[in-house]
Structure 1
Amino acid sequence: MNTIDMENIGLGRELLAGASAVYPELFVGRIVSQSRDLYTAAAEKGELTAEVSGKFRFEAGALSDFPAVGDFVLLDRNEDSSGNGIIHSVLPRKSAFIRRAAGTSNDEQVVAANIDTVFLCMSLNNDFNLRRMERYLGVAWNSRAVPVIVLTKADLCADLARRLSEIGTVACGTEVLVTSSLTENGWTSVRKYLGRGKTVAFIGSSGVGKSTMINRLLGWNALATKGLRNDDKGRHSTTRRELIALPEGGVVIDTPGMRELGIESADFSKTFADIDELAGQCRYHDCTHTREPGCAVQEAIAGGELSPERLANYLKLKKEAKYEGLNSRQIESEKISAMFAEVGGIKNARKFAKEKNRKRYGY
């Protein structure tokens, strides 16, 4: 029988003790992968196939209530015996990556849970994009995991100092690691975040080297790898999320491309901390940072302290988050409401137009 060291794969003693005290008849497992309505869970006496109970399914109020890769769950067994194991509950998550579920509903789906550190991977060749990294950071901070920026393919970068200076303008205190898969020590800087009981995740555009780095950490080619196309857009290699144990302790969660994570789950307060700090110095508390007098943000741009591109992306992402998950009719309604906000809303605008026409045409 292949037993599993549950503490090594992230199960803390406090969480275990709390679960055992309330549900002594159940066992704690961790979700390794998911295929439709079936899950693979790692438990003390091995991996097993499991499904949620009928009661769980009936009481689940949202898609995000269902188990996700990385979740700790309560099972009716801790070994692979006859039939599927039954999942009765999902234990509290300390972090979670969330995306909008497919379809027209506004339901949210957990992509991965209970991650300690998330490596935000971006290649140092033509894939390098500061605006995309701002998006990544917003999603990462919202998850409650600790983000670390990992710049890959340093061997393809002609001016590393310039790139590091540029990334420094958006990092806002986040550590930046430079890696290359061509040398033995070119990727070991990530090791200090790994170890017994720790869970890490690699996210970023397809083709930037996530799978290559995970294979190096594993010591064998467990994951298929594909490079960037000639247009520097990634070829997809990872097609599903899964939790993988590392030989030196801890686990890694590999995910498909970051593009599937919507901006609705972003935290801009840390991603754009510099802009928020400047905004607090504006003359008007509701300043839009576009054309108002006494705008500290625009003054910072004029003084070269802030790039106009960073402000433009900040405003764009805020707007995107506002409209995320709405259908076309709802988006149009929101835009119209924003357009007429200065005159007290669309009703007042219609009243104003009627009054104007009455005076003009005498009716």
Structure 2
Amino acid sequence: MTDSIDFTALRPIGWPWPGAPEDPAWQGLFAAHPQARPGRVIEQHRSGYVVADAPEAAIKTESPPEWQRPRFPSHERAAVGDWVLLEGKRIVALLPRRTSIKRGAAGEHYHQQVIGANIDTVFIVCGLDADFNPRRIERYLLLVGGGGAEPVVVLTKADQTEYSDDALEVLQDLAAQQIPLLAINGKDPASVSALHPWLGPGRTVVLVGSSGAGKSTLTNTLLGEERMKTAEVRGNDSRGRHTTTHRALMPLPTGACLIDTPGMRELKPTGEETLAEGGFADIEALILQCKFSDCSHQTEPGCAVQAAIERDEIDETRLESYRKLREEVAAAAAKLAQRQAEQATERKRSGRGAQWRPVNKGKRR
């Protein structure tokens, strides 16, 4: 079954185990497709996928017919970083994910969009110019927190401002929760080397952030070559054009794999997030100390949150951000529950019963 597969040869493209994994779901899929070989999705396009089954090997592949059906859940199709089983140039199975980063797709109907899969670390990239936005960083942390990957906040363009220390001070509430914060010059290899602890052999890192944050510049420096297009940002708001047009996985000289992503304008929660894992663990802990269990954290006596604000331990703008995101997560969770109930009804009516879902929600290791 898996004895003939050289898993060590897959290490440069991020294979996380020296041999076949112990997960029964993985073993079951290998057993169901004894002639298949594992590969990793390195590019995702509207028309299909590019999969690597060895270093420097890129294969344009066909996806299973069920993935092409309009009502097939998009988050159950393969995404960049996913491991799949191949027979020839055809994908026959999606292997369960260790971790993922997802967002709610745009539109009124509930959908999830997978940004990347089987990720060890997410670099949340934010420029130290007009792009600097602590509230957007909090949104990214919320999306990353529940997917199992480690978030690292990377503040780029440190060479263009004298206020790097001030920006780090604004984010000290995150640093107190053991979320790494780094201010770097994305064009300087010596400065970028501060990221190397997360870029060891076999590791997978994804870059997320708005257009113009410096992701492509940082990618070029990590690659050691000018492979990604870069563009000047607008002077009035430091926003840029989408120089990255699709998600792609690239090997780095350090032995890690890097996924660069286009800038995302909309960061909607999926309803699966937890605010404690999204950078609000301190506020969640304070809420447990409030005198009343239904405290709204405004004017009630014995409110531990308001007391922390008065002591300058919590910034009031963070509390407002927490309230807003909590409402969005609750609304998304209600839509998710409704969607799952509809799917269960559809399966029951069609007589298919419960179906195995190939995606496992990641847990932080």
Q: Same fold per TM (> 0.5)?
A: yes
Q: Where does 1:72-87 land on structure 2 (aligned, <5 Å)?
A: 72-77=83-88, 85-87=89-91
Any stretches of 5+ residues in structure 1 without a counterpart?
A: 78-84, 331-363
Shift of the 305–55 alpha-carbon distance from structure 1 to 2, 3 Å rule, reads closer
Give the deviation of 1:102 after TM superposition: 4.3
Q: Deviations over 1:17-65 (max 9, x none)?
A: 7354553211101111122241110013822111222356579852211
Higher relative contact order (CA 8 A, sep 6+): 2
**1:311 aligns to what SS in structure 2?**
helix
For residue 286 of structure 2, the aligned residue among 258, 278, 292 is 278
**2:13 aligns to what SS in structure 1?**
coil
Give the deviation of 1:302 after TM superposition: 1.6
Give the deviation of 1:325 after TM superposition: 9.2
Q: Say whether 1:194 aligns with 2:199.
A: yes
Counterpart position of 1:228: 233
Give the deviation of 1:218 after TM superposition: 0.9
Which amino acid is the alignment partner of residue 197 of structure 1? G
Counterpart position of 1:318: 326
Q: Distance in 2 between matches of 1:175 and 1:253?
A: 19
Counterpart position of 1:164: 168
The RMSD of aligned alpha carbons is 2.5
2:43/2:50 contact within 8 Å kept: yes
Q: Distance in 2 between matches of 1:112 and 1:259?
A: 17
Q: Distance in 2 between matches of 1:293 and 1:187?
A: 48
Q: TM-score, normalised by structure 1?
A: 0.80
Counterpart position of 2:123: 119
Query: Which of 1 and 2 has greater Rg?
Result: 1
Q: TM-score, normalised by structure 2?
A: 0.80
Q: State percent identity of aligned pairs.
A: 38
Q: Distance in 2 between matches of 1:5 and 1:232?
A: 45
Counterpart position of 1:205: 210
Shift of the 317–65 alpha-carbon distance from structure 1 to 2, 3 Å rule, reads same
Q: Distance in 2 between matches of 1:98 and 1:33?
A: 17
Shift of the 53–116 alpha-carbon distance from structure 1 to 2, 3 Å rule, reads same
Aligned residue pairs total 318
Q: Say whether 1:90 aligns with 2:94.
A: yes
Q: Distance in 1 between matches of 2:236 and 2:331?
A: 30
Q: Distance in 1 between matches of 2:67 and 2:129?
A: 47
Which amino acid is the alignment partner of residue 26 of structure 1? A
Q: Distance in 2 between matches of 1:57 and 1:127?
A: 37
Q: Distance in 2 between matches of 1:175 and 1:281?
A: 27
Any stretches of 5+ residues in structure 2 without a counterpart?
A: 1-7, 339-365
Q: Where does 1:11-30 land on structure 2 (aligned, <5 Å)?
A: 11=15, 12-15=17-20, 18=27, 20-21=30-31, 23-30=33-40
Q: Distance in 2 between matches of 1:74 and 1:60?
A: 23
**2:97 aligns to what SS in structure 1?**
coil
